[in-house]
């Protein structure tokens, strides 16, 4: 008997995620999203997903909304900071009530992840008392602590089917390492039933074992996806593609104002027509990709 090799190809990984599932996305705002895989979900028009968006999330959530994939969204932010204060489709969907939003801040979402990964029904927090969050999100339950009788908010655990993360390297056994900050990916992985991780590079197990303390978690499935976070940054590999972010934001913004032309063009070129991640990268082009160095 041999130990299982967990390297999968893109389409096998995408097959895992089906309509109605709850998925958690790794990364943080404009970094380290498994954008290649998430784009695949958008292309396939997977439906009725509950999406837990990377504590604070960005345009990967925005295009999932645009492609009709999201039923319920759990996140503290959708935007791209200086490139876009808000995701245009997120704003539109929130104003049209076309998605459910599980209102929270970053610490409340982390509390949900902590409860889930610890196998306990809830985690107590202080933030949110005296705000409108418990009214907007009835899952957040005010209660008195059983020891000092203080006011707290109970944040419930959530069942998470699949975590989608993006990292620097992994080996064929799923041991994942980051050249930068894993942000909340460790919690996300531990809270989910199953984790699929796209990586810049697959390395021999011997490379992982050079520094076992760098291994953040062991994924159930690993997909090789160079530039897999594009147009976001992948720490230690490339920075944000600001031009591409701007192109997206402009097209999406126009679409929410009633002018679909640029967005249709964007969506066809970058989401729908490329049959896989490499074809997407071909659309972006080598010159753009290689201009995203960090120095």
Residue 205, φ and ψ in degrees, nearest 5 = -55, -35
Residue (of 175, 184, 174) closest to 215 by Cα position: 175
Choose the stretch contacting a copy of itself; rule: CB under 8 A; options: 49-57, 70-78, 176-184, 202-210. 176-184
Which residues, 194 to 213, sit near a copy of itself by CB under 8 A?
213
Alpha-carbon span 138 to 62, nearest angstrom = 24
The DSSP output letter for 213 is G
The CB-of-58 to other proteins minimum distance in angstroms stands at 9
Residue 295: partners with Cβ closer than 8 Å, 6 or more residues away: none
Residue 110 backbone zone (phi > 0: left; psi -120 to 50: alpha; other: beta): alpha
H-type alpha helices, 88-165: 88-96, 106-118, 133-136
Map residues 236-265 to x or -, x wherever contact with other proteins holds by CB under 8 A: x--xx-x-----------------------
195 contacts 23 by C-beta, under 8 angstroms: no
Q: Does 10 bind other proteins (CB under 8 A)?
A: no
Q: Does 156 bind a copy of itself (CB under 8 A)?
A: yes
First CA to last CA distance, the chain: 47
Choose the stretch contacting other proteins; rule: CB under 8 A; options: 15-23, 34-42, 195-203, 209-217. 209-217
Q: Does 134 bind a copy of itself (CB under 8 A)?
A: no
248 interacts with, out of other proteins, a copy of itself, none, CB within 5 to 8 A per kind: none
Q: Does 181 bind a copy of itself (CB under 8 A)?
A: yes
Tokens for 105?
């801040």
Choose the stretch contacting other proteins; rule: CB under 8 A; options: 9-17, 175-183, 194-202, 247-255. 175-183
Entry field: residues in the chain: 295
Q: Does 157 bind other proteins (CB under 8 A)?
A: no
Choose the stretch contacting a copy of itself; rule: CB under 8 A; options: 53-61, 80-88, 142-150, 254-262. 142-150
Measured from the CB atom, the residue of 119 and 258 that comes closer to other proteins is: 119
The CB-of-65 to a copy of itself minimum distance in angstroms stands at 28
Q: Does 148 bind a copy of itself (CB under 8 A)?
A: yes
């Amino acid at each position: 008997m041999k130990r299982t090799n967990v390297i999968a190809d893109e389409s096998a990984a995408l097959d895992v995620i089906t309509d109605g599932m709850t998925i958690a996305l790794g990364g943080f705002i404009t970094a380290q999203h498994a954008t290649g895989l998430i784009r695949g979900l958008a292309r396939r028009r997977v439906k009725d997903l509950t999406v837990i968006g990377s504590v604070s999330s960005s345009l990967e959530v925005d295009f999932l909304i645009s492609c009709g994939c999201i039923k319920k969204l759990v996140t503290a932010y959708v935007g791209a900071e200086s490139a876009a204060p808000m995701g245009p489709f997120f704003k539109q969907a929130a104003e049209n009530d076309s998605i459910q939003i599980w209102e929270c801040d970053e610490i409340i979402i982390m509390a949900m992840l902590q409860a889930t990964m610890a196998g306990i029904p809830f985690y107590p927090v202080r933030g949110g008392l005296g705000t409108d969050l418990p009214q907007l999100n009835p899952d957040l339950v005010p209660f008195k602590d059983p020891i000092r009788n203080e006011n707290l908010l109970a944040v419930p655990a959530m069942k998470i089917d699949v975590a989608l993360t993006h990292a620097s390297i992994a080996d064929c056994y799923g041991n994942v390492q980051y050249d930068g900050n894993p942000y909340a990916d460790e919690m996300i992985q531990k809270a989910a039933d199953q984790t699929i991780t796209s990586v810049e590079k697959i390395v021999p197990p011997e490379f992982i074992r050079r520094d076992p303390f760098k291994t953040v978690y062991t994924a159930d499935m690993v997909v090789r996806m160079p530039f897999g976070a594009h147009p976001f940054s992948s720490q230690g590999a490339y920075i944000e593609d600001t031009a591409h972010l701007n192109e997206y934001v402009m097209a999406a913004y126009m679409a929410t104002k009633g002018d679909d032309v640029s967005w249709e063009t964007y969506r066809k070129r970058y989401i729908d027509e490329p049959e896989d991640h490499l074809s997407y990268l071909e659309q972006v082009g080598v010159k753009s990709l290689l201009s995203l160095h960090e120095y």
